[in-house]
Structure 1
Protein backbone atom coordinates (compact mmCIF):
# COMPACT_ATOMS: atom_id res chain seq x y z
CA UNK A 1 0.00 0.00 0.00
CA UNK A 2 1.48 3.32 -1.07
CA UNK A 3 2.06 6.07 1.44
CA UNK A 4 -0.13 9.21 1.15
CA UNK A 5 1.48 12.20 -0.47
CA UNK A 6 2.70 14.79 2.02
CA UNK A 7 3.44 17.91 -0.01
CA UNK A 8 5.99 20.37 1.31
CA UNK A 9 4.45 23.80 1.56
CA UNK A 10 6.69 26.61 0.42
CA UNK A 11 6.08 29.61 2.65
CA UNK A 12 6.62 33.19 1.63
CA UNK A 13 9.80 34.78 2.96
CA UNK A 14 7.77 37.52 4.59
CA UNK A 15 5.75 34.91 6.54
CA UNK A 16 8.94 33.36 7.83
CA UNK A 17 10.29 36.78 8.79
CA UNK A 18 7.00 37.54 10.54
CA UNK A 19 7.35 34.36 12.64
CA UNK A 20 10.87 35.36 13.68
CA UNK A 21 9.85 38.91 14.59
CA UNK A 22 6.76 37.73 16.45
CA UNK A 23 8.96 35.39 18.45
CA UNK A 24 11.21 38.30 19.45
CA UNK A 25 8.16 40.02 20.92
CA UNK A 26 6.40 37.04 22.53
CA UNK A 27 9.65 35.79 24.08
CA UNK A 28 10.19 39.15 25.77
CA UNK A 29 13.42 39.89 23.93
CA UNK A 30 11.64 42.99 22.65
CA UNK A 31 9.30 44.62 25.15
CA UNK A 32 6.57 47.28 24.89
CA UNK A 33 8.15 50.62 24.01
CA UNK A 34 11.28 49.08 22.49
CA UNK A 35 12.26 50.03 18.96
CA UNK A 36 12.38 47.25 16.41
CA UNK A 37 15.81 46.67 14.79
CA UNK A 38 16.38 48.66 11.62
CA UNK A 39 15.48 47.19 8.24
CA UNK A 40 19.18 46.86 7.38
CA UNK A 41 19.93 44.95 10.59
CA UNK A 42 16.99 42.62 10.00
CA UNK A 43 17.95 42.06 6.37
CA UNK A 44 21.45 41.00 7.46
CA UNK A 45 20.19 38.92 10.37
CA UNK A 46 17.67 36.91 8.34
CA UNK A 47 19.38 37.03 4.94
CA UNK A 48 16.36 38.43 3.10
CA UNK A 49 15.56 41.52 1.07
CA UNK A 50 13.83 44.71 2.12
CA UNK A 51 10.38 43.79 0.68
CA UNK A 52 10.13 40.71 2.93
CA UNK A 53 11.04 42.79 5.99
CA UNK A 54 8.53 45.52 5.18
CA UNK A 55 5.72 43.09 4.45
CA UNK A 56 6.35 41.25 7.72
CA UNK A 57 6.43 44.54 9.62
CA UNK A 58 3.11 45.60 8.10
CA UNK A 59 1.62 42.30 9.25
CA UNK A 60 2.85 42.97 12.78
CA UNK A 61 1.30 46.44 12.64
CA UNK A 62 -2.05 45.13 11.39
CA UNK A 63 -2.15 42.76 14.37
CA UNK A 64 -1.47 45.61 16.77
CA UNK A 65 1.93 44.30 17.83
CA UNK A 66 3.92 47.30 16.59
CA UNK A 67 3.25 50.86 15.51
CA UNK A 68 4.94 52.25 12.41
CA UNK A 69 5.57 56.00 12.16
CA UNK A 70 6.97 57.72 9.10
CA UNK A 71 10.67 58.41 9.45
CA UNK A 72 11.00 56.42 12.67
CA UNK A 73 11.65 52.83 13.59
CA UNK A 74 8.65 50.69 14.42
CA UNK A 75 7.97 50.35 18.15
CA UNK A 76 6.56 47.42 20.07
CA UNK A 77 3.12 48.16 21.46
CA UNK A 78 1.80 47.14 24.85
CA UNK A 79 -1.00 44.67 24.34
CA UNK A 80 -4.17 45.43 26.30
CA UNK A 81 -7.70 44.09 26.30
CA UNK A 82 -8.78 47.27 24.53
CA UNK A 83 -6.18 46.94 21.76
CA UNK A 84 -7.17 43.30 21.31
CA UNK A 85 -10.77 44.19 20.50
CA UNK A 86 -9.70 47.06 18.25
CA UNK A 87 -8.03 44.50 16.00
CA UNK A 88 -11.39 42.88 15.24
CA UNK A 89 -13.37 46.12 15.15
CA UNK A 90 -13.65 46.42 11.36
CA UNK A 91 -14.34 42.71 10.91
CA UNK A 92 -17.12 42.83 13.51
CA UNK A 93 -18.77 45.82 11.84
CA UNK A 94 -18.68 44.11 8.44
CA UNK A 95 -20.21 40.96 9.92
CA UNK A 96 -23.01 42.99 11.51
CA UNK A 97 -23.71 44.86 8.29
CA UNK A 98 -24.09 41.62 6.35
CA UNK A 99 -26.37 39.72 8.70
CA UNK A 100 -29.48 40.72 10.61
CA UNK A 101 -29.05 37.58 12.72
CA UNK A 102 -25.61 38.76 13.83
CA UNK A 103 -27.08 42.04 15.07
CA UNK A 104 -29.74 40.18 17.05
CA UNK A 105 -27.10 37.89 18.52
CA UNK A 106 -25.03 40.90 19.56
CA UNK A 107 -28.02 42.54 21.24
CA UNK A 108 -28.74 39.34 23.16
CA UNK A 109 -25.08 38.99 24.15
CA UNK A 110 -25.03 42.55 25.40
CA UNK A 111 -28.08 41.97 27.60
CA UNK A 112 -26.54 38.81 29.04
CA UNK A 113 -23.26 40.62 29.68
CA UNK A 114 -24.72 43.78 31.21
CA UNK A 115 -26.92 41.85 33.60
CA UNK A 116 -23.74 40.42 35.06
CA UNK A 117 -22.04 43.80 35.10
CA UNK A 118 -24.97 45.32 37.00
CA UNK A 119 -24.73 42.60 39.64
CA UNK A 120 -20.98 43.14 39.97
CA UNK A 121 -21.45 46.88 40.26
CA UNK A 122 -24.14 46.59 42.92
CA UNK A 123 -21.91 44.30 44.96
CA UNK A 124 -18.69 46.32 44.63
CA UNK A 125 -19.58 49.99 44.04
CA UNK A 126 -17.97 52.55 46.33
CA UNK A 127 -18.84 56.21 46.92
CA UNK A 128 -16.65 57.38 44.02
CA UNK A 129 -18.30 54.97 41.62
CA UNK A 130 -21.74 56.23 42.56
CA UNK A 131 -20.61 59.85 42.28
CA UNK A 132 -19.18 59.22 38.79
CA UNK A 133 -22.38 57.54 37.59
CA UNK A 134 -24.47 60.38 39.00
CA UNK A 135 -22.30 62.94 37.20
CA UNK A 136 -22.59 61.09 33.89
CA UNK A 137 -26.36 60.87 34.29
CA UNK A 138 -26.60 64.61 34.97
CA UNK A 139 -24.48 65.34 31.90
CA UNK A 140 -26.67 63.05 29.79
CA UNK A 141 -29.77 64.91 30.98
CA UNK A 142 -28.17 68.12 29.73
CA UNK A 143 -27.73 66.58 26.28
CA UNK A 144 -31.45 66.12 25.64
CA UNK A 145 -32.07 66.96 21.99
CA UNK A 146 -28.42 66.49 21.02
CA UNK A 147 -28.20 62.98 19.60
CA UNK A 148 -24.44 62.45 19.35
CA UNK A 149 -23.66 63.80 22.81
CA UNK A 150 -26.60 61.95 24.39
CA UNK A 151 -25.54 58.60 22.91
CA UNK A 152 -21.91 59.21 23.91
CA UNK A 153 -23.03 59.80 27.50
CA UNK A 154 -25.19 56.67 27.30
CA UNK A 155 -22.16 54.62 26.30
CA UNK A 156 -20.08 56.22 29.05
CA UNK A 157 -22.69 55.32 31.67
CA UNK A 158 -22.69 51.64 30.75
CA UNK A 159 -18.91 51.43 30.42
CA UNK A 160 -18.48 53.09 33.83
CA UNK A 161 -20.66 50.35 35.32
CA UNK A 162 -18.34 47.75 33.78
CA UNK A 163 -15.33 49.55 35.26
CA UNK A 164 -16.64 48.92 38.78
CA UNK A 165 -15.78 45.26 38.30
CA UNK A 166 -12.08 46.13 38.24
CA UNK A 167 -11.60 43.75 35.30
CA UNK A 168 -10.13 45.44 32.18
CA UNK A 169 -11.47 42.64 29.96
CA UNK A 170 -15.02 43.48 31.01
CA UNK A 171 -14.41 47.14 30.24
CA UNK A 172 -12.99 46.30 26.82
CA UNK A 173 -15.95 44.03 26.03
CA UNK A 174 -18.37 46.77 27.06
CA UNK A 175 -16.64 49.40 24.92
CA UNK A 176 -16.47 47.08 21.92
CA UNK A 177 -20.11 46.00 21.98
CA UNK A 178 -21.34 49.56 22.45
CA UNK A 179 -19.17 50.80 19.58
CA UNK A 180 -20.42 48.03 17.28
CA UNK A 181 -24.05 48.80 18.17
CA UNK A 182 -23.71 52.56 17.88
CA UNK A 183 -24.13 52.72 14.10
CA UNK A 184 -27.51 50.99 14.41
CA UNK A 185 -28.82 53.31 17.13
CA UNK A 186 -30.22 55.60 14.46
CA UNK A 187 -33.81 56.45 15.35
CA UNK A 188 -33.65 56.71 19.11
CA UNK A 189 -33.75 60.48 19.45
CA UNK A 190 -36.18 61.11 16.62
CA UNK A 191 -39.07 59.52 18.45
CA UNK A 192 -40.39 61.95 21.06
CA UNK A 193 -39.84 60.85 24.64
CA UNK A 194 -37.55 57.89 24.00
CA UNK A 195 -34.53 59.68 25.44
CA UNK A 196 -36.52 60.50 28.59
CA UNK A 197 -37.27 56.82 29.08
CA UNK A 198 -33.55 56.18 28.94
CA UNK A 199 -32.85 58.76 31.65
CA UNK A 200 -35.51 57.31 33.94
CA UNK A 201 -34.17 53.80 33.45
CA UNK A 202 -30.59 54.88 34.04
CA UNK A 203 -31.71 56.48 37.30
CA UNK A 204 -33.34 53.20 38.36
CA UNK A 205 -30.13 51.31 37.58
CA UNK A 206 -28.05 53.85 39.49
CA UNK A 207 -30.35 53.75 42.52
CA UNK A 208 -30.13 49.96 42.71
CA UNK A 209 -26.34 50.04 42.45
CA UNK A 210 -26.13 52.75 45.12
CA UNK A 211 -28.29 50.63 47.42
CA UNK A 212 -26.13 47.54 46.68
CA UNK A 213 -29.29 45.81 45.51
CA UNK A 214 -27.84 43.08 43.30
CA UNK A 215 -31.17 41.63 42.16
CA UNK A 216 -32.69 45.08 41.64
CA UNK A 217 -29.72 46.25 39.55
CA UNK A 218 -29.95 43.23 37.27
CA UNK A 219 -33.72 43.62 36.89
CA UNK A 220 -33.36 47.33 36.10
CA UNK A 221 -30.75 46.69 33.41
CA UNK A 222 -32.85 43.91 31.92
CA UNK A 223 -35.93 46.16 31.66
CA UNK A 224 -33.83 48.96 30.18
CA UNK A 225 -32.12 46.88 27.51
CA UNK A 226 -35.18 44.83 26.56
CA UNK A 227 -37.09 48.06 26.02
CA UNK A 228 -34.32 49.72 24.04
CA UNK A 229 -33.19 46.74 21.93
CA UNK A 230 -35.83 47.58 19.30
CA UNK A 231 -34.12 50.94 18.79
CA UNK A 232 -31.11 49.19 17.30
CA UNK A 233 -32.15 48.25 13.78
CA UNK A 234 -30.60 47.90 10.34
Structure 2
Protein backbone atom coordinates (compact mmCIF):
# COMPACT_ATOMS: atom_id res chain seq x y z
CA UNK A 1 0.00 0.00 0.00
CA UNK A 2 1.37 3.41 -0.95
CA UNK A 3 1.72 5.93 1.86
CA UNK A 4 -0.73 8.60 0.58
CA UNK A 5 -2.38 11.17 2.81
CA UNK A 6 -5.49 13.24 2.03
CA UNK A 7 -4.55 16.85 1.28
CA UNK A 8 -6.11 20.13 2.29
CA UNK A 9 -7.94 22.09 -0.38
CA UNK A 10 -5.12 24.67 -0.53
CA UNK A 11 -2.46 24.42 -3.27
CA UNK A 12 -3.90 21.00 -3.92
CA UNK A 13 -1.99 20.26 -7.13
CA UNK A 14 1.34 21.15 -5.55
CA UNK A 15 0.65 18.93 -2.53
CA UNK A 16 -0.25 15.99 -4.76
CA UNK A 17 2.90 16.54 -6.82
CA UNK A 18 5.04 16.69 -3.67
CA UNK A 19 3.64 13.44 -2.30
CA UNK A 20 3.96 11.52 -5.57
CA UNK A 21 7.48 12.85 -6.16
CA UNK A 22 8.39 11.82 -2.62
CA UNK A 23 7.02 8.32 -3.19
CA UNK A 24 9.15 8.01 -6.33
CA UNK A 25 12.37 9.46 -4.89
CA UNK A 26 12.04 7.37 -1.72
CA UNK A 27 11.96 4.21 -3.81
CA UNK A 28 8.40 3.13 -3.01
CA UNK A 29 7.83 3.20 -6.75
CA UNK A 30 10.60 1.99 -9.05
CA UNK A 31 11.41 2.97 -12.66
CA UNK A 32 8.82 1.38 -14.92
CA UNK A 33 6.22 0.98 -12.15
CA UNK A 34 2.69 2.09 -12.96
CA UNK A 35 0.89 4.50 -10.66
CA UNK A 36 -2.70 3.82 -9.57
CA UNK A 37 -5.25 5.21 -11.99
CA UNK A 38 -6.61 8.75 -11.67
CA UNK A 39 -9.82 7.64 -9.98
CA UNK A 40 -7.95 5.61 -7.35
CA UNK A 41 -5.48 8.44 -6.70
CA UNK A 42 -8.32 10.98 -6.43
CA UNK A 43 -10.02 8.84 -3.80
CA UNK A 44 -6.82 8.35 -1.81
CA UNK A 45 -5.91 12.04 -1.95
CA UNK A 46 -9.55 13.04 -1.35
CA UNK A 47 -9.50 15.41 -4.32
CA UNK A 48 -11.06 15.59 -7.78
CA UNK A 49 -9.67 13.64 -10.71
CA UNK A 50 -8.96 16.96 -12.43
CA UNK A 51 -6.52 17.90 -9.68
CA UNK A 52 -4.80 14.53 -9.95
CA UNK A 53 -4.58 14.93 -13.73
CA UNK A 54 -2.95 18.37 -13.34
CA UNK A 55 -0.37 16.98 -10.90
CA UNK A 56 0.48 14.00 -13.12
CA UNK A 57 0.80 16.26 -16.13
CA UNK A 58 3.19 18.57 -14.26
CA UNK A 59 5.28 15.62 -13.06
CA UNK A 60 5.52 14.36 -16.62
CA UNK A 61 6.78 17.77 -17.74
CA UNK A 62 9.66 17.66 -15.26
CA UNK A 63 10.58 14.13 -16.33
CA UNK A 64 9.46 12.02 -13.37
CA UNK A 65 6.58 10.31 -15.17
CA UNK A 66 5.54 9.19 -18.61
CA UNK A 67 1.82 9.32 -19.36
CA UNK A 68 0.72 6.74 -21.94
CA UNK A 69 -2.70 7.32 -23.46
CA UNK A 70 -5.09 4.53 -22.57
CA UNK A 71 -2.55 2.86 -20.26
CA UNK A 72 -1.75 5.19 -17.38
CA UNK A 73 1.22 6.91 -15.72
CA UNK A 74 4.60 5.22 -15.32
CA UNK A 75 7.75 6.14 -13.38
CA UNK A 76 10.59 7.14 -15.68
CA UNK A 77 14.05 5.68 -15.63
CA UNK A 78 16.46 7.96 -13.77
CA UNK A 79 18.21 8.83 -17.01
CA UNK A 80 15.09 9.14 -19.17
CA UNK A 81 15.60 12.03 -21.60
CA UNK A 82 13.69 15.27 -21.21
CA UNK A 83 10.94 15.77 -23.75
CA UNK A 84 11.07 18.80 -26.08
CA UNK A 85 7.83 19.97 -24.45
CA UNK A 86 9.54 19.96 -21.05
CA UNK A 87 12.38 22.12 -22.32
CA UNK A 88 10.02 24.58 -23.96
CA UNK A 89 8.01 24.82 -20.74
CA UNK A 90 11.13 25.40 -18.62
CA UNK A 91 12.68 28.07 -20.86
CA UNK A 92 9.77 29.58 -22.78
CA UNK A 93 10.72 33.17 -21.89
CA UNK A 94 14.42 32.80 -22.87
CA UNK A 95 14.20 30.65 -25.98
CA UNK A 96 14.21 33.62 -28.41
CA UNK A 97 17.23 35.38 -26.86
CA UNK A 98 19.81 34.32 -29.42
CA UNK A 99 22.81 35.76 -27.54
CA UNK A 100 21.92 33.75 -24.45
CA UNK A 101 21.19 30.60 -26.43
CA UNK A 102 24.61 30.90 -28.07
CA UNK A 103 26.34 31.52 -24.71
CA UNK A 104 24.65 28.48 -23.16
CA UNK A 105 25.58 26.35 -26.14
CA UNK A 106 29.22 27.38 -26.03
CA UNK A 107 29.55 26.80 -22.29
CA UNK A 108 27.86 23.40 -22.12
CA UNK A 109 28.66 21.90 -25.52
CA UNK A 110 32.36 22.79 -25.25
CA UNK A 111 32.69 20.95 -21.95
CA UNK A 112 30.69 17.97 -23.19
CA UNK A 113 32.77 17.70 -26.38
CA UNK A 114 36.02 17.90 -24.43
CA UNK A 115 34.99 15.25 -21.90
CA UNK A 116 33.54 12.95 -24.55
CA UNK A 117 36.67 13.28 -26.70
CA UNK A 118 38.83 12.13 -23.81
CA UNK A 119 36.64 9.13 -22.99
CA UNK A 120 35.25 7.88 -26.30
CA UNK A 121 35.93 4.20 -26.94
CA UNK A 122 36.52 2.90 -30.44
CA UNK A 123 32.95 1.60 -30.61
CA UNK A 124 31.63 5.02 -29.56
CA UNK A 125 33.82 6.76 -32.12
CA UNK A 126 32.51 4.37 -34.77
CA UNK A 127 28.93 5.26 -33.80
CA UNK A 128 29.70 8.98 -34.10
CA UNK A 129 31.24 8.34 -37.52
CA UNK A 130 28.05 6.61 -38.64
CA UNK A 131 26.03 9.67 -37.67
CA UNK A 132 28.59 11.89 -39.41
CA UNK A 133 28.32 9.81 -42.59
CA UNK A 134 24.53 10.23 -42.47
CA UNK A 135 25.05 14.00 -42.10
CA UNK A 136 27.22 14.06 -45.21
CA UNK A 137 24.52 12.18 -47.13
CA UNK A 138 21.77 14.44 -45.79
CA UNK A 139 23.40 17.78 -46.53
CA UNK A 140 22.35 17.70 -50.20
CA UNK A 141 18.70 16.81 -49.55
CA UNK A 142 17.58 20.39 -48.90
CA UNK A 143 15.74 19.27 -45.76
CA UNK A 144 16.95 21.32 -42.75
CA UNK A 145 14.74 19.38 -40.30
CA UNK A 146 16.21 16.00 -41.30
CA UNK A 147 19.72 17.42 -41.19
CA UNK A 148 19.08 18.95 -37.75
CA UNK A 149 17.75 15.64 -36.42
CA UNK A 150 21.13 14.12 -37.24
CA UNK A 151 23.03 17.01 -35.65
CA UNK A 152 20.93 16.50 -32.53
CA UNK A 153 21.70 12.77 -32.53
CA UNK A 154 25.41 13.51 -32.76
CA UNK A 155 25.39 15.99 -29.88
CA UNK A 156 23.07 14.03 -27.59
CA UNK A 157 25.29 10.98 -28.07
CA UNK A 158 28.28 13.13 -27.15
CA UNK A 159 26.47 13.93 -23.91
CA UNK A 160 25.74 10.25 -23.29
CA UNK A 161 29.41 9.24 -23.57
CA UNK A 162 30.96 12.22 -21.77
CA UNK A 163 30.81 10.43 -18.41
CA UNK A 164 28.90 13.15 -16.54
CA UNK A 165 25.17 12.59 -16.07
CA UNK A 166 24.48 16.23 -15.27
CA UNK A 167 26.22 17.35 -18.45
CA UNK A 168 24.27 14.73 -20.39
CA UNK A 169 20.99 16.23 -19.15
CA UNK A 170 22.25 19.75 -19.85
CA UNK A 171 23.18 18.72 -23.39
CA UNK A 172 19.66 17.38 -23.93
CA UNK A 173 18.36 20.72 -22.66
CA UNK A 174 20.57 22.75 -24.97
CA UNK A 175 19.73 20.59 -27.99
CA UNK A 176 16.01 21.20 -27.49
CA UNK A 177 16.50 24.84 -26.56
CA UNK A 178 18.52 25.62 -29.68
CA UNK A 179 16.23 23.81 -32.14
CA UNK A 180 14.20 26.76 -33.41
CA UNK A 181 17.35 28.86 -33.77
CA UNK A 182 19.23 26.02 -35.48
CA UNK A 183 16.53 25.66 -38.11
CA UNK A 184 17.00 29.34 -38.92
CA UNK A 185 20.78 28.96 -38.97
CA UNK A 186 20.65 26.05 -41.40
CA UNK A 187 18.81 28.22 -43.92
CA UNK A 188 21.74 30.66 -44.05
CA UNK A 189 23.88 29.92 -47.14
CA UNK A 190 26.85 27.75 -46.20
CA UNK A 191 25.52 26.77 -42.76
CA UNK A 192 24.80 23.12 -43.60
CA UNK A 193 28.22 22.66 -45.16
CA UNK A 194 29.88 24.41 -42.21
CA UNK A 195 28.01 22.23 -39.68
CA UNK A 196 29.25 19.10 -41.44
CA UNK A 197 32.78 20.42 -41.80
CA UNK A 198 33.24 21.46 -38.18
CA UNK A 199 31.94 18.15 -36.83
CA UNK A 200 34.18 16.27 -39.25
CA UNK A 201 37.10 18.31 -37.96
CA UNK A 202 36.09 17.53 -34.39
CA UNK A 203 35.98 13.80 -35.15
CA UNK A 204 39.47 13.90 -36.68
CA UNK A 205 40.70 15.64 -33.55
CA UNK A 206 39.04 13.03 -31.32
CA UNK A 207 40.64 10.23 -33.31
CA UNK A 208 44.03 11.89 -32.95
CA UNK A 209 43.70 11.85 -29.11
CA UNK A 210 45.58 15.16 -29.14
CA UNK A 211 44.01 17.31 -26.42
CA UNK A 212 45.35 20.59 -27.85
CA UNK A 213 43.98 19.71 -31.29
CA UNK A 214 40.61 18.83 -29.73
CA UNK A 215 40.50 22.13 -27.83
CA UNK A 216 41.43 24.09 -30.98
CA UNK A 217 38.75 22.25 -32.96
CA UNK A 218 36.08 23.08 -30.36
CA UNK A 219 37.18 26.73 -30.34
CA UNK A 220 36.98 26.90 -34.15
CA UNK A 221 33.59 25.20 -33.99
CA UNK A 222 32.09 28.03 -31.97
CA UNK A 223 33.92 30.80 -33.80
CA UNK A 224 32.23 29.64 -37.01
CA UNK A 225 28.90 29.15 -35.25
CA UNK A 226 29.05 32.73 -33.99
CA UNK A 227 29.28 34.04 -37.55
CA UNK A 228 25.97 32.38 -38.42
CA UNK A 229 24.34 33.55 -35.19
CA UNK A 230 25.42 37.11 -36.01
CA UNK A 231 23.93 36.69 -39.47
CA UNK A 232 20.43 35.86 -38.24
CA UNK A 233 20.60 38.40 -35.40
CA UNK A 234 21.38 41.06 -37.97
CA UNK A 235 18.29 40.07 -39.96
CA UNK A 236 15.92 39.98 -36.96
Q: TM-score range by the shorter chain?
A: 0.7 to 0.9
What corresponds to 1:129 in structure 2? 124
What corresponds to 2:136 in structure 1? 141
Deviations for 1:114-168, whole angstroms, at most 9, x for unmatched residues? 3323332332222222222222222211122322233332333333333332334
User: Distance in 2 between the 1:28 and 1:229 partners?
Assistant: 45
User: Distance in 1 between the 2:85 and 2:215 partners?
Assistant: 28
Aligned residue pairs total 221
- The ranges of structure 1 where at least 4 consecutive aligned residues each deviate by more than 6 angstroms after the TM superposition are none
RMSD over aligned CA atoms reads 3.1
Deviations for 1:26-66, whole angstroms, at most 9, x for unmatched residues? 32222222232345544554444545444444443444333
Q: Aligned ranges for residues 1-80 of structure 1 at < 5 Å?
A: 11-39=10-38, 41-80=40-79
Larger RCO: Structure 1 or Structure 2 (Cα < 8 Å, ≥ 6 residues apart)?
1
What's the CA shift for 1:178? 2.3
Label 1:124 to 1:41 Cα distance change in 2 as closer, same or farther (>3 A).
closer
- In the alignment, structure 2 segments of 5+ residues that lack a partner are 1-7
Q: Is the 8 A contact 1:116 1:218 kept in 2?
A: no
Q: Aligned ranges for residues 98-117 of structure 1 at < 5 Å?
A: 100=97, 103-117=98-112
What's the CA shift for 1:84? 8.1
2:204 counterpart of 1:215: no
Q: Aligned ranges for residues 160-179 of structure 1 at < 5 Å?
A: 160-179=157-176
User: Distance in 2 between the 1:43 and 1:13 partners?
Assistant: 11
Moved more, 204-213 or 84-93: 84-93
Deviations for 1:4-40, whole angstroms, at most 9, x for unmatched residues? xxxxx97244444443333322322222222323455
